[in-house]
Chain A
Amino acid sequence: GEDVEQSLFLSVREGDSSVINCTYTDSSSTYLYWYKQEPGAGLQLLTYIFSNMDMKQDQRLTVLLNKKDKHLSLRIADTQTGDSAIYFCAESRSNDYKLSFGAGTTVTVRA
């Protein structure tokens, strides 16, 4: 199986909250990331969290980490049409430049 898994699609109504889930297998993962890819653009780092944290909030984004279950989630509050994109979960070990990515969750925001 894949090292990092996430569901492929999510549809959400404008104004609602979106929650994108991710699971990983490597217990030595130190950094966990969320990247966003808008149509025709490169992957953009949205936020990251260290494995010794369980939550990080940045404006509309909230990252929750359950290290015991190796589960990471990204919550987007008040989802807007500009949030429509592919969201990638990724992990790396301390001082390791190699990122392991999930397949990406395509988020579609409907009016």
Chain B
Amino acid sequence: NAGVMQNPRHLVRRRGQEARLRCSPMKGHSHVYWYRQLPEEGLKFMVYLQKENIIDESGMPKERFSAEFPKEGPSILRIQQVVRGDSAAYFCASSPGGVRVDTEAFFGQGTRLTVV
């Protein structure tokens, strides 16, 4: 049973381009969470999605960021018109269900986005 898969592992974008980060949850998991880690800071919650639904996007920047988790395929975190301040590690986690995240959440390796 493969773990949470994120790709790409590293992504370089020029300012103004779009970045698409993908997350395939563990088999049987229908809940996905995205976190962002800025340099020398802790991971910060961004968004919580279930299949075809955004449950909580309270941590998402108001502009340029969007997330989806379609019925088929991976969850996508999309950043439009990237700026240098978007450079960070983006982590995805998944769980089989429910709102409790204790022993049930599994994290991916992260995607390191660098904006040049």
A contact residues vs B (CB 8 Å cutoff): 2-4, 8, 31, 33, 35, 40-45, 48, 88, 90, 92, 95-104
Given A35-B107, A41-B109, do A101 and B42 touch, yes or no (CB 8 Å)? Answer: yes
**How far apart sit A44 and B59, CA to CA, in the bound complex (Å)?**
22
Say whether B99 contacts A99, CB under 8 Å.
no
B contact residues around A2 at 8 Å (CB): 41-42
Which one of A8, A44, A97, A103 lies within 8 Å of B101 (CB-CB)? Answer: A97
List chain A residues, Cβ under 8 A from B3.
42
Does A42 contact B42, Cβ atoms closer than 8 Å? Answer: no
Please report the C-alpha to C-alpha distance between residue A20 and residue B67 in the assembled complex, in whole angstroms.
34
Per-position 1/0 for B89-116, Cβ under 8 A of A? 0010101000111110111111000000
User: B105, A100: Cβ atoms under 8 Å?
Assistant: no
CA of A42 to CA of B106, assembled, Å: 8
In addition to A88-B42, A97-B101, 9 A-B residue pairs with Cβ atoms within 8 Å of each other are: A43-B91, A48-B103, A92-B101, A97-B100, A97-B105, A99-B101, A99-B105, A101-B37, A103-B42
Instruction: Pick the contact of B102: A31, A88, A100 (CB < 8 A).
Output: A31
Residues of A within 8 Å of B108, CB to CB, are: 42
Tally of A-B residue pairs with Cβ under 8 A? 72
Q: Which residues of B contact A48 (CB under 8 A)?
A: 102-103
B48 CB within 8 Å of chain A: yes
Nearest-neighbour CB distance to chain A for B18, whole angstroms, equals: 25
Known: A42-B4, A42-B107, A44-B107. A95 touches B99 (CB 8 A): yes
> B35 contacts which chain A residues (CB < 8 A)?
99, 101
**Residues of B69-87 contacting chain A, CB below 8 A:** none
Quick check: is B63 within 8 A (CB to CB) of the other chain? no
Q: Pick 14 A–B contacts, CB within 8 A, sort by A.
A: A3-B42, A33-B102, A43-B107, A44-B107, A45-B105, A90-B43, A95-B99, A97-B99, A99-B43, A100-B42, A101-B37, A101-B44, A102-B42, A103-B37
